[in-house]
Amino acid sequence: MGMKNELMQKLDDGYKRFSKGQKKLADFIRDDYDKAAFLTAARMGEEVGVSESTVVRFAMALGYEGYPEFQKALGELVRTKLNSIQRMEVTYGRISQGEILSTVLQSDIEKIKLTMNAIDHEAFEMAVDTILNADKIYVVGIRSCAPLASFLSFYLNLICENVVAVHTNSSSEIFEQLIRINRKDVIIGISFPRYSMRTLKALEFASNRKAKVITLTDSVHSPMTLYSSCNLIARSDMASIVDSLVAPLSVVNALVVALCMKKQKEVITTLETLEDIWDEYQVYSKDELNMIGDAVELSGGSSYLGKQTDKEDEK
């Protein structure tokens, strides 16, 4: 794959002469560099089971002046690694085109099973209560997590009063939207590898303002858990270009259903009001297609197929 990253090269070159602890660190960085790049020296030591000073000495043994410079090299690695393609080749290179569909679906089923077995039910209940008791609910997720964030916001908005889907085009924009967040509010941060620094900064900001922080992420070791009072863990480790967001989406669905059950009256009232509004403003009347026998009809009674032919005749 062309030039090897400098840090990876150093790990390879020095591996034979590393001590046992250093070998562990090297293995951890190879396997989990996108997580490693976010950790302090102390956290990385905890993760691997060595002391903080071992981590710092390791950075220096690799030729870096200290841990910060080493961490910068890790950041480079996360940016330059063509890891999606490589991982995809490793995982899917051995299977035929015909098996791809079932392999990927099977992989998603596994993720949901793993998530189901490992999810912390107390954390889930706590998340539900926290959301119910919050004055305002902020939801943040960027890049491939943005659809999860907007899906969650869409449904929360039907259930709860003050829901803010944080627009995440730039960091400054995020902070402007969070400027009034306080101890009565909650922020839900959604982030999967590669973890988003912007999401992390938003959670840090909210946490400094004493807001409650809920994260939906893939592991207790995710940097997103640094600021959260409540972690919902869902598996997403898809070996490909696409992050598998199926399991996280299932957890989001469960959250929405649990909230609906707790706020049945309000939800019913909201939906009835919406139905009235939709009727009044004919929101769906030109937009919803119904099957009537074999013909497709627009909900408004006019046959879609019939309409087309009328138009042709007029010409």
Supply the CATH number for residue 48's domain. 1.10.10.10
Question: Which CATH number covers residue 167?
Answer: 3.40.50.10490
Average pLDDT over residues 42-65: 91
Q: 194 with 143, same domain?
A: yes
Q: 39 with 154, same domain?
A: no
The domain boundary, picked from 26, 57, 81, lies at: 81
Range of the domain at 131: 126-266
Q: 74 with 189, same domain?
A: no
Looking at the predicted structure, is the pLDDT value of residue 7 above 90?
A: no
| 100 inside domain | no
Q: 259 with 291, same domain?
A: no
| 276 inside domain | no
Q: 159 with 40, same domain?
A: no
Least confident range from 57-66, 123-132, 306-315: namely 306-315
pLDDT for the residue numbered 79: 63
The domain boundary, picked from 81, 96, 116, lies at: 81
| 184 inside domain | yes
| 138 inside domain | yes
| 225 inside domain | yes
Q: 259 with 149, same domain?
A: yes
Least confident range from 16-20, 89-93, 169-173: namely 89-93
| 217 inside domain | yes
pLDDT for the residue numbered 236: 82
Q: 72 with 130, same domain?
A: no
Output the average pLDDT for the chain.
81
pLDDT for the residue numbered 57: 93
Binned at pLDDT 50, 70 and 90, residue 137 comes out as very high
Average pLDDT over residues 259-263: 85
Q: 229 with 149, same domain?
A: yes
Looking at the predicted structure, is the pLDDT value of residue 259 above 60?
A: yes
pLDDT for the residue numbered 306: 46
Looking at the predicted structure, is the pLDDT value of residue 271 above 60?
A: yes
pLDDT for the residue numbered 59: 92
Looking at the predicted structure, is the pLDDT value of residue 287 above 80?
A: no
pLDDT for the residue numbered 310: 47
Looking at the predicted structure, is the pLDDT value of residue 170 above 50?
A: yes
The domain boundary, picked from 21, 53, 81, lies at: 81
Q: 296 with 262, same domain?
A: no
| 194 inside domain | yes
| 274 inside domain | no
Looking at the predicted structure, is the pLDDT value of residue 265 above 60?
A: yes
Distance CA 163, CA 152 (A): 10
Average pLDDT over residues 143-170: 88
Q: 51 with 153, same domain?
A: no
Q: 132 with 204, same domain?
A: yes
Q: 218 with 152, same domain?
A: yes
Average pLDDT over residues 295-300: 61
pLDDT for the residue numbered 49: 92
Residue bearing the bigger pLDDT, 159 or 308: 159
Provide the number of structural domains found in the chain.
3
Q: Model-level pTM?
A: 0.62
Least confident range from 11-25, 256-270, 279-293: namely 279-293
pLDDT for the residue numbered 14: 86
